[in-house]
């Protein structure tokens, strides 16, 4: 079996060994032909079993593992469930194959941003330590993952999917035929689901961050608000010719800053923290006012009046 390609090298040796075995069996067994056949069958069976054991113990070179807190896990699940509804649940359930298995549904593929079935199965298998599982048919992995998705993401619609999932779970059990491996299979599916959920959340946060930069970032808002507030303050000083001490001036420019920040948030697209922007803008504007007023002369540089 192993050296099949080199038959010319072992042919004569095997003939002599076969004759020797036949002669020995003739002495021990009356039906030596059947006994000899049974002997070779037993050897082949042992050879196959040992081969399977070695095959399954091959080192896993690429293994992914998700380690997160329960709070993070629930946060990811909550995010994935945000778009779940009864209609989608029914659509996915109705797509179940006649034998109880599932193919990857487009709703799941789009929701989790899965590029292809090949990408899905390869990624799923990276979360398993078992070579036996990794070599299982892709249909087993896809069905198990669909079950996992339904149970976690569509948990609120259990009455709609309970019987469908029971049938699919039985289909998986019949093919794995090993409780320990089946548990590992579903664990790998759950880890991949969490991994996809985290990736989706990060992508959405990055998109929001890009949107901020595309419109108005915090620094631009602060600078713009302070500039306009200071311009209005200087103009009011010149026009009113009113005497303001330092505290009054700071209060007045605060009002102009508040007005400008309100105007910016009302008329421009931004995702910044309004209170943070207002606090920073007031601090910068007060610095400008402090520079306008000299503590020793109390002179307003706007209108040149001594206070």
Q: Domain-by-domain residue ranges, the chain?
A: 4-56, 70-208, 218-292
Q: Residue 264 and residue 278: Cα distance in Å, rounded?
A: 11
Q: With a cut of 90, say whether residue 227 has pLDDT above it.
A: no
Q: Tokens at residue 180, please?
A: 């320990």
Residues 171-175: what's their mean pLDDT? 96
Q: With a cut of 80, say whether residue 252 has pLDDT above it.
A: yes
* Contact of 221 with 272, CB cutoff 8 Å: yes
Over the chain, what is the mean pLDDT?
81
Residues 232-260: what's their mean pLDDT? 81
Burial class of residue 307, CB neighbours in 10 A (0-12, 13-18, 19+): middle
Q: With a cut of 80, say whether residue 222 has pLDDT above it.
A: no
Closest CA to 218 of 263, 267, 286, 271: 271
Closest CA to 111 of 133, 88, 87: 88
pLDDT band at 297 (very low <50, low <70, confident <90, very high): very low
Q: Residue 235 and residue 172: Cα distance in Å, rounded?
A: 78
Q: Residue 36 and residue 18: Cα distance in Å, rounded?
A: 10
* pTM of the predicted protein model: 0.54
């Amino acid at each position: 079996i192993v050296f099949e390609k080199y038959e010319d090298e072992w042919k004569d040796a095997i003939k002599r060994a076969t004759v020797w075995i036949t002669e020995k069996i003739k002495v021990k067994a009356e039906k030596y032909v059947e006994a000899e056949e049974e002997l070779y069958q037993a050897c082949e069976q042992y050879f196959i079993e040992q081969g399977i054991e070695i095959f399954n113990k091959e080192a896993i070179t690429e293994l992914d593992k998700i380690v997160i807190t329960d709070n993070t896990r629930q946060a990811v699940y909550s995010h994935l469930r945000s778009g779940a509804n009864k209609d989608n649940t029914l659509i996915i359930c109705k797509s179940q194959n006649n034998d109880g298995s599932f193919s990857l549904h487009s709703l799941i593929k789009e929701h989790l941003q899965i590029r292809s079935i090949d990408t899905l199965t390869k990624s799923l298998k990276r979360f398993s330590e078992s070579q036996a599982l990794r070599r299982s048919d892709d249909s087993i992995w896809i069905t198990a993952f669909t079950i996992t998705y339904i149970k976690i993401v569509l948990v609120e619609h259990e009455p709609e999917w309970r019987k469908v999932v029971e049938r699919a779970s039985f289909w998986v059990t019949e093919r794995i035929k090993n409780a320990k491996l089946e548990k590992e299979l579903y664990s790998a599916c759950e880890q991949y689901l969490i991994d996809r959920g985290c990736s989706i959340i990060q992508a959405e946060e990055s998109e929001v961050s890009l949107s901020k930069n595309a419109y108005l970032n915090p620094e631009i808002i602060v600078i713009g608000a302070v500039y306009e507030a200071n311009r209005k303050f200087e103009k009011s000083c010149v026009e009113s010719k009113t005497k303001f001490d330092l505290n009054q001036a700071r209060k007045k420019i605060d009002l102009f800053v508040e007005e400008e920040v309100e105007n910016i948030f009302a008329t421009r697209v931004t995702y910044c923290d309004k209170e943070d922007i207002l606090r920073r803008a007031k601090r910068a504007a007060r610095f400008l006012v402090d520079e306008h007023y000299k503590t020793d002369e109390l002179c307003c540089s706007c209108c040149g009046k001594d206070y």
